[in-house]
Structure 1
Amino acid sequence: MRSNPRLILLSEEDRSELTGILAEAEEAQQVLAAAEAAQTRVLAKAGAFAARLAEGSTAVVRDRDMALRGVAAEIAAAVRLSDRSVQRQIDSAFALVNDYPATVHCLEKGLITRAHVAVVEDIGRRLPLELKGEFDQLAAEICLDETPGRARADLEIIAERMNPRTLTERHAGAFRERKIVRYPIGDGMSELRAVHSTVLIEGIFQRVTEQANQVIAAREPGSGDTRSLDEVRADLFADMLLTAVPAIEPTGDQPGGLGAIRAKVQVVIPVMALMGQSDVPCDLAGVGPIDADTARLLAGNSDGTWERLLTHPITGLTMAVDQYRPTAAMDRFLKGRDKHCRWPGCRMPARKCEVDHNHDAALRGKTEICNLCCLCQRHHSMKQFTAWKVRQLPGGVIEWTSPTGRVYVDNPPGHGVHFSPEEDVPDDLWVKWTTFTGEFRITDQPADNPHEPAPF
């Protein structure tokens, strides 16, 4: 019989030792960040030097490249790296220092990591030069409070909303580039790669994952089936493609194709986008932005695959989910509010998390919204079996206290990313989910159902 894990408690001596280790880890991280910032600045200086050497030339582009090659070769020989690698580093550093000064400053002070900078650089390159300064300020502010993974999710939305061309416009063109490609990889194996709409790819992946988990759970002892989750997913994928009848309409991204998906995918839709008064990008939770046209199509789809969450146009907080039932309503609301595990930095989607009591039910904690949040299995177990403590503050804010006494606050998703909409926003917004017609309805009248949300 498997024994339950024991509760890990710290003595005063243990707590003192851990505090010392923590201080050393923080100092090492700050030293590393400062060194990386210093390296970035000196490489940017090398890029500026190469550009100055080429000034006045009639062939500026060619001569700057030659000057840069020479400078990169000099540095590469000294630090024992490839000159091509150093040249790429110089180009990156030059762009970072000039386009993202606030982000580099935060790195220099040890307030963020190089991984944060890589996220800012990757997403920022999608914006025109004149918008990078504003993006840099917003990105630095978000990176101060979030891990690189969570910061990426927020910055994806910010970059999409800042882009002068809407995601709806860009998606229309990109959708014409959908395709599948095969690549031989040796040993009798090949790779099949599909380029398609994000919502469809996510639905496909979730469906085949759910089916693979069912296959593994149904295994009989001694069956000899030792396939991993990846292997079962690949086998199911091949079976479905070889034997299933296609459901996608030949004319493109129609409701018939989307409705054929059997997976649970969460779509976050700003209410003004749902009303057709805005084309701001929406969010495929845990994946990234999708265009407003696709989100509106999904909002009107009555199939149970798509879990639709409406967010307030200014605060960004959840206004409603698409169903309200006794007991199940609380679960759906919490997963709509939290969107992912509420341990600081964890991005595990809420649909894969457990709804947990902050103040344990066994210790008379109440089963109510203000005492519940979504935690993944890893962080649920950590809360249960280690000296970490958690409590919920007003507004769905989760406060964690570490064994050494440090306090970390996790704000609900959407807390730090909101814009003033160009459209007029009604003073009172009510949302009703009409089960008969399978659609959201925006109204200025209170809901008849007491389980439906109050206006924001």
Structure 2
Amino acid sequence: MTAVLALIPAGLESPDGSADPLVGSASGESFGGESFDAASFEAMPFDADAFDLPFVPDPLADVDPFVLLGSLDELRDPADLIDPVDLSQYPASAEAEHEWAGAAASVDAFAELCSVLDASEQAQFAVNRAMATHLAATRRALDIAAHDPAVYLQPGELGRPGASELAVRAAATELSMRLHVSVSTIRSRAHEAAVLQDRLPQVWARFVDGVASYADARVAVDSAAGFVPGDGRLVELDEGLAAVIGAITTARFRQQARTLRARLDRDVLAERHARAFTERRVTVEHVDDGMAWLSLYTSQVDAVKIMTRLDATARRDAGHPDELRTLAQLRADAATAWLTGAGTPTAARVEVLVTVPLLNVARSTGGAQRGPGADNDPAVIGASGASGTGGGEVLGGGPTGAAPTIAGTRNEFATLDGVGPIDDVTAARLLGEASTFLRLVTDPVTAAPLALDRTRYRLTKAQRVWLALVHERCTRSACDRPAYVGDVDHELEWSRGGRSNPENLCPLCRGDHTLKHCTLFTQTKNSDDTVTWRSPTGRNYTDPPPF
């Protein structure tokens, strides 16, 4: 028996007497004929057995919880049993969350904020899942082409060495034209899918579920480089990466992946560095306002050496009393001077094509002036010369001597081939520094270049320059390789009566030139100088008109 303490009025009978123990009030009111106040209460033992209470059985006393709920392995998180859609059916939930959060904003604003935050999160998850599907489909498309080259190759090419690889390139080319990305991007994505699916299945599962982003998945792929399928260390790498992917930022994930990889691969770090060092390269990315990024991928030691020397040179030059450039500008100028060899006997000879409308050109020494030849010559083409900041020779009909300025009509822009418009000051400096020119004859009204018919197979330099300026890039849709570094294809072969004139010529990079002649792709040059590629799957691909 359990003894408890109860407050009862002093002087009243015990619970088994005639008086009710639960009478009285703090105000001294009368209950059942008795009156008392709170001061008359005292503590005394209370016997629960003195009350004759009815027996209430416990409904779960004889129930085995494992029978009711199943084994522990089958227990599920209650949250998994709730459909998030059902939560929106209860308007009070938003009000409860608002009250719990203690937000000063209105309930409507709070509810809308929660809704759009959830929508943004779910959209990102959907993007991640869609990207995983895209990678898997891309890999599968290339695999199909590799196993059955006949889907792309001409019958006579099926027995050639490398037929499977050529078919894979054809499949990547078609996806490139469909998605408007480069062939190398398509092949990289197929490789990423293969690494994730074959070597990092747990990371791949997180990606497919939408938890991991594409950026995180690429970090995981990089960390698995050098591990062949079946390597026992891949299991630990996969588990370690899957445990954190999607739960931290991409920057932190990259750091943890690098640390985990180093721990697993400590004995072969030198081999990994040697393998990575073979991929060293320099790339250029053209951006807005006439600027570009020049990137050098090299060893960390060499990068530190380069940056240290640049910094020392910049700090030395910053000490000059009349120096107004910042340290960042001084480093950039020093790097440019070193790489171009400006002002040195070993300055590199380069070729840069620049088109300048002559109607916009006038000498800085005195007003508008005629260019060489007729007043309505509308274009100047720039080409080779010594490298340097803005240096070089310009090909085209244009003035020499005093530096000209760009003036007059504003409906034409000077253009750097393969990049786009450049400002008038830069164009004027190029014209002023040029020593030789090559005339490009154009229509004085429409500014369209006039075709020069040729009856020989090999093109003249002027024709190549003209094709490069008109088309700028390889004429296969979605290919961004500059026209001046590729091949020139006869749409109708020379052996079948095709002529070497512009209507029958198309710039093609070497890879696409091979595809045109060895695969089932067909090419048609249109009247507006666009080129249409038709794939074996029946799709047509045409980029916008050039020039």
TM-score by length of 2: 0.31
Bigger radius of gyration: 2
TM-score by length of 1: 0.37
Higher RCO (C-alpha 8 Å, min separation 6): 1
